Structure 1
Amino acid sequence: MNKLLMLGIVAFLSLQSCYYDNEEELYPQAGNCDTTSVTYSGTVSKILNQRCALSGCHLGASGQAIGIFDTHANIKTYLDAGNTVRLLDAINHRNGRSPMPKGSATKLDACDLLKIEAWIKSGYPNN
């Protein structure tokens, strides 16, 4: 009986030791993120359409959130109203803002965050 118990404990501990956290997956880095060629049409709109401009969120008439992000004109209106810091704080999960995207277990990846920030800092052009 003792041998069986010991075998069970050893097997349990052995299986537990097989788990490891991959730092790159837990804390993604921007690494080789190119923010020099960020455009609204080629970069930012794709991020917003996939993660923000969704039914019940920031999409046209169905948008329940503050701001509509489905077109450049709509996101520009939101940002022109003084909401650049609010948006950046929300997508970066900082300064007590409601973290975005809602209902998502993770925030946008580091490179996408840098691209949106670069686009906003360049005056959020419609390019």
Structure 2
Amino acid sequence: MNHLTWRLALLCLLNLGLLAGCASDNEEDLNPQPNACDTSAVTFSGTVNAILQNNGCKNCHAASAGSGGVVLDSYAEVKKRADDGRLLGAISHASGYAPMPLGGTKLSDCDIAKVKKWIDNGAPNN
């Protein structure tokens, strides 16, 4: 083999090595999601109540304010709104529901997923 043939053969082997190195890449490896939403341990007291508090829901929907006739300052009141569909409908901005928070930014997809998980689990007082 001449000198040029060796160079071409070496170049082909290097290219094959590079291609093989990419063969095991997958979406999870290329785009890791370190902050994935964890809905495995959702509770009323530790999760849902905190979401309502942190997003200002309780500022307008306390017994003293009762904006729109909706009170969210106790488990019983939140459960009532979870059971009638208004809680999830409002926070997910579903058609036919008043989008909440009123005039504010929609809750994060993760917070909505956590509230939905709690409701899907029967909205327990935990």
Shared fold, TM over 0.5: yes
Among 64, 67, 72, the alignment partner of 1:64 is 67
Output the CA distance in 2 between the equivalents of 1:98 and 1:78: 13
Distance 2:80 2:97 in 1: 20
Following TM superposition, by how much is the alpha carbon of 1:96 offset from its aligned partner in structure 2, in angstroms?
Answer: 3.4
Deviations 1:57-114 (A, max 9, x none): 211121122321111122123334xx22x3222211121322101121x200010000
Q: Secondary structure at the match of 2:93?
A: coil
Decide whether the 8 Å contact of 1:49 with 1:70 is kept in 2: no
2:68, 2:50 → 1: CA distance? 19
Decide which structure has the larger Cα Rg and report it.
2
**Structure 1 residue ranges without an equivalent (≥5):** 1-28
Partner of 2:120: 121
Distance in 2 between the 1:79 and 1:118 partners? 11
Moved over 4 A (4+): none
TM-score under structure 1 length normalisation: 0.65
